[in-house]
Amino acid sequence: MKFRCVVAMVVAFVASSMMSAAALAESFTFTAIPDADESRLNARFGKVADYLSEQLGVDVKYIPVKSYPAAITAFRNDQVQLAWFGGLSGVQARELVEGSEAIAQGYEDQFFKTYIIAHSSTGIEAADVLHDSVKGKTFTFGSKGSTSGRLMPEFFIREHFEAAPDEIFSRVGFSGDHSRTIAQVQSGVFDLGAVNYSVWDTELKEGKIDTDKVKVIWTTPTYPDYQWTIRGDVDARYGEGFKQKVTDALLNMKDEDLLASFPRASFVPASNDDYAPIEATGKAIGLLD
């Protein structure tokens, strides 16, 4: 009897060890919404994957996607277990995957903002309010699913003019990402555009923006935005406490080069409740059910 018990214990121990080894052998994957050009994203998140691999003790891979909906789909289908989402895309993804949580956000993401930019030919000057002279101009948002490039600027535009964008502007487009929004307004393809302030500030610093051709004419009120969202089943797959290990790795990211690539000063704790205003706004303008 004792022998059988010992055998059973050994079998259970071996099985447990095999399960742990399998969890460690399984790659942990993440993606990010494509809010800038692909080469920049690959460079940024390749370094993040290396950092997370070192911190978590598992193979971590970054998987690029072509669109905001593709990032949400990859998360829903378990092709990725972690994602760097915008405010709206994070809400959408968490609604589709039970138990998923926002675990960290950039320090700056607690009070994000959008710039409305204008081509110099419009003659519109910067002001504290969005001037009526924007009426009848052409306008481009970023991606249709972008918080800073579509959701929040549309909300504030509707609030100010008490009308939908296609009732205010002569033509409304969607560039696909913030870098293209800047390029399209700078080249005169569109008169006006809505752009993530962080992408604008970065490209301005890098000398990619000709301020003789395009400038900021209005800044929205602040709102919560980007965050890291993780699936709720990671502890079952990678071991008890794995979600906390991921959270700790993100919150303890101190390397200035890594942080500058976002760019963020640091990462701070986040929760699903932080994004209730995004959910409410999405429902108010028909982007969420």
CATH code where residue 44 lies: 3.40.190.10
Burial class (CB in 10 A: 0-12, 13-18, 19+), 288: middle
Whether 122 and 202 map to the same domain: the answer is: yes
Cβ 197 vs Cβ 116: under 8 Å = no
Enclosing domain of residue 150: 113-219
Residues 48 and 133 in one domain: no
Consecutive 10-residue averages of pLDDT for the chain (289 residues): 43 38 68 78 87 97 93 97 96 96 96 97 96 97 93 94 96 96 98 96 96 98 95 97 98 93 92 93 86
Backbone angles phi, psi at 264, to 5 degrees: -140, 150
Query: Is residue 40 included in any domain, yes or no?
Result: yes
Q: Is residue 260 part of a domain?
A: yes
> Which tokens is 29 given?
């994957």
Give the model's pLDDT for residue 285.
84
Return the H-helix or E-strand segment holding 150. Answer: none
* Domain-embedded: residue 154: yes
Question: Which of these three, 187, 202, 219, is where a domain ends?
Answer: 219
Q: Are both 210 and 261 inside the same structural domain?
A: no
Query: Quick one: tokens of 229?
Result: 């969202």
Q: Which residues contact 147 (CB under 8 A, 6 or more apart)?
A: 86, 87, 88, 89, 112, 223, 225, 226, 278
Under a CB-based contact definition with an 8 Å cutoff, are residues 188 and 121 in contact?
yes
Domain count, the chain: 2
Residue 58 lies inside a defined structural domain of this protein: yes
Q: Are residues 64 and 8 in the same domain?
A: yes
- Asked, for residue 289, whether it belongs to a domain, the answer is no
Predicted local confidence at residue 43, as pLDDT:
79
Report in angstroms the alpha-carbon separations of 8 from 5, 20, 21, 38. 5, 18, 20, 53
Same domain? 75 vs 214: no
Is residue 66 one of the residues assigned to a domain?
Answer: yes
Q: Which one, of 68, 230, 42, lies nearest residue 148 by Cα?
A: 68
The answer to whether residues 102 and 194 belong to one domain is: no
Q: What is the pTM of this model?
A: 0.77
Q: Are residues 106 and 6 in the same domain?
A: yes
| Same domain assignment for residues 247 and 233 | yes
Q: For position 7, what pLDDT does the model report?
A: 38
Does residue 117 share a domain with residue 21?
no
Per-residue confidence (pLDDT) for residue 94, from 0 to 100: 97
**Residues 147/136, Cβ–Cβ less than 8 Å:** no
User: In the listed set 219, 240, 256, which residue is the last one of a domain according to the structure?
Assistant: 219
Residue that is last in its domain, among 174, 199, 219: 219
Query: Do 40 and 179 have their domain in common?
Result: no
Is residue 215 located within the same domain as residue 229? no
Listing from the earlier edge strand, what are the strands of the sheet with 171-174? 171-174, 138-141, 192-196, 114-119, 214-219
Q: What is the pLDDT of residue 98?
A: 95
pLDDT for 177: 93
Q: 104 and 233 in one domain? A: yes
